[in-house]
Chains A and B, each alone.
With several copies, the nearest count.
Chain A
């Protein structure tokens, strides 16, 4: 059977060149880089090379890169580390209602500890009102945390403008760039941002590795206490093979960014146009201007159909996608992102995300556009909401 993977915002395959780069570091160059002997020496250089590669993706200096274990850890560290380091200055944090749980649930945990959090609303396109953001700043505000791009809709937030607002009010600014990284430029010299979090497994590196840009001079408390790795900022023996893999993946992503953007966007636009033109009662979730969305993400609601059923039928045809339906998450509520955008509850349960990569092809899009309509029709005929 065909296997068409369109769930790259959930996780990507490791790129063969990345695995290749990692392989020597498991059984042969396995040392602990902190050690004073051949086994340690063999790997120290590898880490510093990877740090340079990651720094180039951020366009920062290597000393501003901290390796950690994943995007969730980066977000936890950035937010809790700032809250602790700046608690003498204030107790107010501004974020959005469409962040990833790694940000949202971290902020909710801080609320229990006496912090106050403003969760900015979004409009029905999933976008922020920057005047509202600026108005929310008080003299107690110690952190603004707004994601660079949203994982469900692909919406790109105006990080440059938010950075200017943060600068004007001298508030620290963190952005979760887990989805933006590798797809669009995340250049910290062009935008004013203090902390940027990325995760390996969204850009062709393995799961279980991440990195944070921490602007020079930014005071932050430790999240992981212990050894003095990463200039005392993140304890734990360096995950050498995965660090090497993350470096290689950043290198490849940077080199191919323009080419991949154009190619993936062409595929996504074709899928989007095809679905919207051949299937009735489909709603696009996210900003209608494709320039304001990641090139690879398409989120649509097939009205009257619950998302998990749709995914299961897709799966029978080899198509891997994801849904904002409650039934796929094990929770009782559908996607909080759809909820924040004011998407009707049935449409939220119907929301379906296709997230592409440069490994997808035109033929795959043609195949999906051919298989989709009968699946949608079949499920609609089963639906008590259809044709009422």
Chain B
């Protein structure tokens, strides 16, 4: 069902947890659809220094969360904002068609966290 990359990120997820002293937090999804994703950030000089996730969801949801944190780290917030759901799915060598909506969550959560950072620091 899942690619080797998805299974790798699912079974050894990177950056699980909450960033201490986060200056941006985003949460998307809801329990009724079976998925909730929270991303917390530490941004310094517009660069994402640290990012962590917590996810309630399927294998694809956890793998995309893990992947999006790896992709975001070290990026400027402008670069991170143009990171697409599609790019996350592609970085995992694709997702099953029924699971594409899970990848939507990962990039969305990241973008929400960045918006939160901007709100806090404007």
Contacts and interface: CB of A to CB of B under 8 A. Distances in A.
Interface string A357-388: 00000000000000000000000011111000
Interface in B25-77: 27, 31-38, 53-59, 61-62
A304 B36 CA distance: 11
Nearest to B37: A384
Contacts of B13: 382
A299 interface: no
B82 interface: no
Contacts of B34: 306, 325-327, 334, 349
Contact of A327 (B17, B37, B57): B57
A383 B55 contact: yes
B16 interface: yes
A97 to B, nearest CB: 18
Given A325-B58, A381-B16, A330 B98 contact: yes
A262 interface: no
A330 B17 CA distance: 28
B38 A313 contact: no
A306 B27 contact: no
Contacts of A384: 27, 36-38, 54-56
A239 interface: no
A332 B101 CA distance: 11
B54 A308 contact: no
B97 to A, nearest CB: 10
B10 interface: yes
A309 B54 contact: no
A381 B18 CA distance: 10
Interface in A308-339: 308-309, 312-313, 316, 325-328, 330, 332, 334
B4 interface: no
A382 B58 contact: no
Of the listed residues A313, A326, A383, the one surrounded by the most CB atoms of chain B closer than 10 A to its CB is A383
Contact of A304 (B38, B53, B56, B61): B56
A309 B1 contact: no
B16 A308 contact: no
Contact of B62 (A309, A316, A330, A332): A309
A309 B33 contact: no
A41 B10 CA distance: 18
A362 to B, nearest CB: 28
B59 A382 contact: no
B11 interface: yes
Given A309-B61, A327-B58, 6 more contacts: A306-B57, A308-B59, A327-B57, A334-B34, A346-B31, A382-B13
